[in-house]
Amino acid sequence: MNPNGRAWVLPTLILALVALAVPIAGLMLGRGAGALAPLRWIEVSGSFERVTAEQVRAAVTPALGGGFFFLPLDEVRTRVQELSWVEKAQVRKRWPDVLEIQIIERSVLAKLGTDRLLDEQGRVFSAEGLSMMGGVPQFEAGEARVPQAIAFYTAIRPDLQGLGLDLTELRISRRGSIETVLSNGIEVIVGSTDQADRWRRFMVGLRPLMEQSATPIARIDLRYTNGFAVLPYSPDQAPADPAGAPPEQASTGDA
């Protein structure tokens, strides 16, 4: 350093200019990245049962203006997972110009009410085409009873599948009383108490009952202490009042 203190002026000025130039260059590069390294391909993979590749591409296109180098993968992932039927999305870049998107679709457990669905993780969501969906049971339960409906159906489904059956309807009252309709049309009244024990007892007798019954069965009432009541189907018979049938009803207040 010389006596007048001027030796470091030029290097300091150069460093300042470099520090200023770096963010400016980065900004200019970002603005021109789409032209320098454009993204040319969006490859989408998945089962495509409820979601199409076109829907995925349309959802992510607004986020792709920065080209390959400035592709916001987190935003792309979020946009894909905002699609109603997408449970999870994996995204990555592949040099030199490809965006890869793999989707996992929601697996539906049941319909809930008239306008919502439940997935296998118990999450409620809405989606288009709900009224046309078949093959899953219809749940009728208030918000507070949805966890009970999920737990009950999850517990009994293996039993029913072992008999080649499933539920078409599961209704739970505000008091927690359960009624179901099996896929063979039989209505089963479980009630609000001892539900697991009642169902196990019912499963022991259901197969022989179906094999031995001479007439179709309309309703089975499980609200008895040591068994259940069977109502045969009759086209001329008015629907029975399930609340007044079993002796247990009068003593426990079960509904």
Alpha helices for 108-224 (secondary structure H): 146-161, 195-212
Closest Cα partner for 51 from 77, 90, 83? Answer: 83
pLDDT tens figures, 110-162: 999 988 999 999 999 998 777 678 889 999 999 999 999 999 999 999 999 99
Mean pLDDT (the chain, rounded) = 84
Judge contact between 163 and 171, C-beta under 8 A: no
Residue 183 — pLDDT band, cuts 50, 70, 90?
Answer: very high
Residue 242 has pLDDT above 80, yes or no: no
Task: Give the pLDDT score at 16.
Answer: 44
Please tell me the least confidently modeled range out of 3-7, 93-97, 120-124, 230-234: 3-7
Q: Is 216 left (phi over 0), alpha (psi -120 to 50) or beta?
A: beta
- Joined together, the tokens standing for residue 132 give 């046309």
Q: Which two tokens stand for residue 249?
A: 């009803």
Question: What average pLDDT does the segment 92-103 reach?
Answer: 98
Asked if residues 249 and 223 have their Cβ atoms less than 8 Å apart, the reply is yes
If you ran DSSP here, which 8-state letter would residue 244 be given? G
DSSP string, 1-17: --TTS-TTHHHHHHHHH
**Band of residue 28 on the pLDDT scale cut at 50, 70, 90:** very low
More confident residue, 93 or 9: 93
Going along the chain from its start, the domains and CATH numbers come out as 41-105 (3.10.20.310), 108-252 (3.40.50.11690)
Model pTM?
Answer: 0.74
The pLDDT value given to residue 241: 52
φ and ψ of 169, to 5 deg: -140, 145
Kindly indicate the confidence band of residue 233, based on its pLDDT and cuts at 50, 70 and 90. Answer: confident
Calpha distance 187→228 (Å, rounded) = 13
